[in-house]
């Protein structure tokens, strides 16, 4: 599956819908083509504040107050409350995102996860400090203010509840039919008797979207970090007691060429798939230290 053929180009980006099962393969092909890495911003400061707020919540009281029986109006809205408790997203027939209208020909759907992945050479999130009163920071940053990003939006469709009625039917009849189908769909979701089809809207940047700030392709292939799958493979080789960097480099090259990227090999200079000896050595030492620490911990408590 070629990502340039599956998507249509609009300006500096390729946009279109793909099935969620083929999303990872599409992103992997785009990564090998552009030699660019993307990621989401994470803030440890905000994460720590959220954990502190959760820890500061008061314990539940043992005293239970009297709760009156639900009224007639509450019974009518009980289905919506149960949907909120089950974290069921809102069911839609039409969804507007800016100037783009999303609809699936009378098929109800819900909006799932939304993600925005920024280029590794994007903006700096924190102010750089050249001198902190103790030592100088001589190493620069790789951030260059690149605006290229990947947008992913997941839609969950339910083709089994597609609305079908005569084109000559009135708007009132169509609205009643849609309401009836949505009520049946909500009940089926609560009972777990229906599963939707997951479709993802993808917006991938082209090479021109990066050229304003930094080159792409082979020019930045040596600046890439080691691929997560390669890191896991290194850890598995360490478990097999393969700790020689040269030997592991040969095993990794064979794994990439014959298993991981068979038929669609990346650039030979891409450091993400063909790491250098120093990269391999660093991951070997890191994993060996973890195993040693686990062994000492078990020995202390056994």
- Token pair 């290229």 is at which residue? 148
Close Cβ partners of 270 (under 8 Å, ≥ 6 residues apart): 32, 35, 221, 224
Looking at residue 69, its pLDDT comes to: 47
**How high is the pLDDT of residue 86?**
46
Tokens of 135: 């030592």
Collapsing DSSP to helix, strand or coil, 33 comes out as helix
In order along its 302 residues, the chain shows pLDDT tens digits of 466 778 888 888 999 999 888 888 888 888 888 888 888 765 544 444 454 544 544 444 444 443 444 544 444 455 555 555 444 568 888 888 777 788 888 888 888 888 888 888 887 776 655 555 666 666 667 777 788 889 999 999 998 888 876 666 677 888 888 888 888 888 888 888 888 889 999 999 988 888 777 777 777 788 788 999 999 999 999 888 888 999 999 999 999 999 888 888 888 888 889 999 999 999 999 888 887 877 777 767 76
pLDDT for the residue numbered 57: 47
Q: Please, which residues bridge with residue 109 across strands?
A: 92, 157
| Residues belonging to the chain | 302
Query: 38 pairs with which residues across the strands?
Result: 119
Q: How far apart are CA 27 and CA 138, in angstroms?
A: 35
Whole-angstrom CA distances from 262 to 20, 99, 112 are 22, 40, 32
Three-state DSSP state, 161: helix
Q: Tell me the sheet residues that pair with 155.
A: 111, 199
Report the distance separating Cα 245 and Cα 35, nearest Å.
24
């Amino acid at each position: 599956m070629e990502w340039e053929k599956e998507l249509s180009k609009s300006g500096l980006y390729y946009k279109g819908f793909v099935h969620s099962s083929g999303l990872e393969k599409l992103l992997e092909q785009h990564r090998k083509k552009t030699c660019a890495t993307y990621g989401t911003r994470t803030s440890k400061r905000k994460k720590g504040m959220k954990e502190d707020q959760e820890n500061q919540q008061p314990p539940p009281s043992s005293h239970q107050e009297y709760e009156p029986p639900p009224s007639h109006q509450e019974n009518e809205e009980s289905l919506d409350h149960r949907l909120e408790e089950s974290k069921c997203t809102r069911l839609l027939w039409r969804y507007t995102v800016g100037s783009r209208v999303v609809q699936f020909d009378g098929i109800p759907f819900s909006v799932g996860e939304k993600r925005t992945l920024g280029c590794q050479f994007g903006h700096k999130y924190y102010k750089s400090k050249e001198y902190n009163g103790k030592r100088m920071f001589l190493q620069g940053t790789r951030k260059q203010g690149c605006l290229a990003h990947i947008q992913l939006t997941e839609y969950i469709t339910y083709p089994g509840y597609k609305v079908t009625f005569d084109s000559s039917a009135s708007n009132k009849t169509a609205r009643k039919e849609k309401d009836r189908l949505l009520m049946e769909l909500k009940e089926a979701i609560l009972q777990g008797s229906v599963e939707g089809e997951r479709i993802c809207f993808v917006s991938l940047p082209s090479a021109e979207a990066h050229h304003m700030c930094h080159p792409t392709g082979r020019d930045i292939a040596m600046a890439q970090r080691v691929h997560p799958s390669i890191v896991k493979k290194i850890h598995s080789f360490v478990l097999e007691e393969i700790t020689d960097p040269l030997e592991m480099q040969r095993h990794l090259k064979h794994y990439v060429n014959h298993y991981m990227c068979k038929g669609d090999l990346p650039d030979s200079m891409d450091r993400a798939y063909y790491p250098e000896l120093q990269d391999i050595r660093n991951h070997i030492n890191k994993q060996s230290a973890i195993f040693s620490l686990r062994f000492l911990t078990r020995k202390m408590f056994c």
